[in-house]
Structures are given as structure tokens and as C-alpha cells.
Amino acid sequence: MEEESQFTLSVNPSRGLMDEKFVILVQNAPPGSELTVHALHQCDDGHGWDAFAHYISDATGRVNVSEDCSLGGTYSGIEPMGLLWSLRPVPGSKPGLRLRKKNVQEPMLVTVSVYEGHRKEGFADLVPLASALVERWYMAPGVRRIPVTEGGLTATLFLPPGLGPFPAVLDLWGGGGQLVEYRAALLASHGLAALAIDYLTTAYRYLEEHPQILGSRIAMLGLSFGTSVTLRMAVYSKVMKVTVEDHHLTQVCDYPSFFRPTRNVANTRITEENHVILRDLSLPITTDPLKKVDVGRLQCPLMLVVGEDDQNTAAQESANDMKEMMERAGNSHLLTVLSYPDTGHLIEPPYTPHVRASNFKPVNLNEILMILWGGQTAAHSRAQEDSWKKILLFLRVNLFGGIRPAAAPLSHL
């Protein structure tokens, strides 16, 4: 090849929110060159994650990752954000890793590099033709992070820029028993106050009484076990009755675990890779109304985001059963269902790397399980991008009346 110094690689914007797209551009390569574009990230736990794709430069010596087709690598085809969502643990890493941002006050740093030829391994031993450092943030400029310990809570409140008061989201996660902040931080970056919590009804009252929160406009966002909690709160909690009746409580659930599952250990499956499949524990769906949340009593708008390849819970079957219950009760007009083929259990914000299986320690067990979550990487990643846009729109319509909240100026990141 020609002298390496002529190569340039740019990423625009080099600083942005985690759900913001960027453009990776390689220039000044010899026309028709085989090139590998590579991304490398070291997570907060110290583990390395990488992704790569193969390209051929055009007649002008350019590769535009947003427009050109990857011929192979960790993804193929035209995928502008493929180098993020296809990140996987570097070869030799311990099994079962999952990428989760722990310190949202610092950016996710990704080094994007271009290498000569179509490479598949050994990137650590190679000298790149050009590189660029990318910052991906969950907290936009002006977002405030406030630890909350009053009233026995273990939580973090994220407030958007400005004086408020703001509509708010109560952000609930799964059964791992840890405080997870990155989704709440990203919601605040889009103008919604958000409280990440490690559980529960006292948290709703905390938001309702906070001077910078519009107490009549509070949403709940649940994933995994957090969905069961949000549904029960919406239907049964006396704390929330007024809010629900005022139709200012909106609820988004990333999987419809609205029943009380019968834990039949005989229905647990183990794959050849020793991955645990839990979806059959709740099958067949019970017909006993005493073992379900009575969603027919629900009085607030509800969105379900369903992964059709969810291997952790019977998501699609549960969503269908819930729809039938609400149709019989006459409140199905409150229900919106987003259902995605080849999508697993862990539906997260855009460009979060897909993890089909990972280590998981339930709060009630003293052992770590390798749980199969499901999903195919490309389809799952597209579902994350599409559902996030629709979740934000759903929240804006129901909390702001469709008016887009002011977001922090990303140019100042």
C-alpha cells in the first residue's frame, strides 16, 4: 500500500449520546483496498470488548460505514452502528460477560481503527493505519445525578437541565438486585426526570413529593422482574390510585411477566453449552385468575415491548394472554404491543451490545447461572433501536401531551 500517513479516519460526532448515530469515514486509501474497521472498548470492569467489519474502498479511496456494505466480520451488510451493537468480549475472555455501564458520569470510550487487509484476529499485535477515539455518553450536559437514601431508599435521581418541574419515570430493572443507572441517565438526557431504584412504592411517593417533579405525571419503565412490579403497582397499589385515575401514569414494560409463575423445576432446560432456559417455567399460561394480575382493572396507557425469541420468559404467550384479558374487560384501547422477531429478553437502549447468554446471580440464590436470554444479534439490535424511539414517543405523548421536551445541546458534549 501507499504510505500509511495519507490515511485518515474520522468519526462524527466524536462525542454524543449513547443512542445517537455517528458516521465513520475512512479517506485517502488506494481505490479497491481491502480494509478492516475495528472498534475496541474497555468496560468499567476492565474487560475488553471489540467488533470489526471488512470493507473495500471505493474509486475515490473512501469507506463510509454508514453507507457501505460490510463483507464480513462481527456483522455484515449496511449497518451504520454495527461496530457498537456487535461488540463482543475479546477472544480469551471469561465466559458469560455482559456489557453494562456502571459509572454514567464518565463516557463509554471506544477506539475506532482501520487496518490493512481483511483481518479477523490479532488486532492487539497490529499497527493501525489510522485511529480515532469516540465518547458515548448516557448523561448529557446539565443532567444532574442525585443519590437518594432517604426513607430507606437505595436510588439515584436524574434531573434534566433546567428548573422543572419535570414529568418523571420510575425505572425498574430485573431480579439481579443491583442499582442500574444508565437507562435513567439517558432518559434524563431526553428531558424526563428518572429515578433508578433498587425497589419500590416508597420510591413512587418520593417522586410524587419532590419539588422538581410533576407529581401527576409519573411513568414506570420496567425490564424483566421490574415489569412484574410495575404492573402490580399500577393495578393494586393504593399509593398510586389517584395518579392512575387521572390518566397521567404511563407504564412501559419490556416483557409481560404479569402473572405469578409456577416454578416447575422440571420445565427448566439446559442447552449443550450449559445455558439455562427458563421460559418454560411459566408455561402453559395459567387460566387461574387468582394467579394473575387483573389487568382488566388497569386505567393507564400501557406499552409492552416483546422479544419473540425471549428464552427467559414466555413473553409472546404472556402478551397475547394479557391482550385477551384486556379485550374482555373493555380496556384494550390502553394497550400498545411492540413485538420483534429474533429478539431476546434483554431489550436495552440503542446500540447496547447484544448478549445472547451471560452470567446472572438471582438475589435469592447463592449460585451464578449462565442464563440464555435469546435473540439474534442483528435483529435484536434493530429492535432495540426501533423500540427506544417508540418508547420515548409514547412517554412524550402521555406525559407531555406530545410536546417534545427540551434536550441538552449535544454540541456541548
Residue 309 backbone phi and psi in degrees, to 5:
-110, 25
Residues 236 and 299 sit within 8 Å (Cβ to Cβ):
no
* Region of 8 on the Ramachandran plot (φ > 0 left; ψ -120 to 50 alpha; else beta): beta
Q: How many helices (H) and strands (E) does the chain have?
A: 7, 21
DSSP bridge partners of 135 = 15, 109
Q: Specify whether 310 is catalytic.
A: yes
Question: Which helix (H) or strand (E) is 276 found in, with range?
Answer: strand 276-277
Q: From the candidates 86, 224, 318, 381, give the one annotated as an active-site residue.
A: 224
226-231 long-range CB contacts below 8 Å, 24 or more apart?
226/171, 226/172, 226/173, 226/174, 226/254, 227/172, 227/253, 227/254, 227/255, 227/256, 227/257, 227/258, 228/257, 228/258, 228/293, 229/172, 229/199, 229/200, 230/170, 230/172, 231/258, 231/293, 231/295
Amino acid at 323: K
Which residue in the block uniquely carries the three cell numbers 485517502?
Answer: 28
| Phi-psi label, residue 363: left if phi above 0, alpha if psi -120 to 50, beta otherwise | alpha
Grid-cell match 432456559, residue found: 277
Q: How far is CA 11 from CA 65, 214, 296, in A?
A: 10, 39, 50
Composition of the chain by helix, strand, coil, percent to 5: 25, 30, 45
Q: Assess whether 224 carries a catalytic annotation.
A: yes
Catalytic residue, chosen from 38, 41, 275, 345, is: 345
Q: Which residue has the cell 453449552?
A: 273
**Any idea what DSSP says for residue 384?**
H
Q: How far apart are CA 83 and CA 338, in angstroms?
A: 26
The C-alpha angle 271, 276, 280, rounded to 5 degrees, equals: 95
Question: Residue 241 region, left (φ>0) first, then alpha (ψ -120 to 50), else beta?
Answer: alpha
Distance CA 359, CA 367 (A): 10
* Per annotation, catalytic residue among 310, 318, 332, 358: 310
Q: Which residues are catalytic?
A: 224, 310, 345
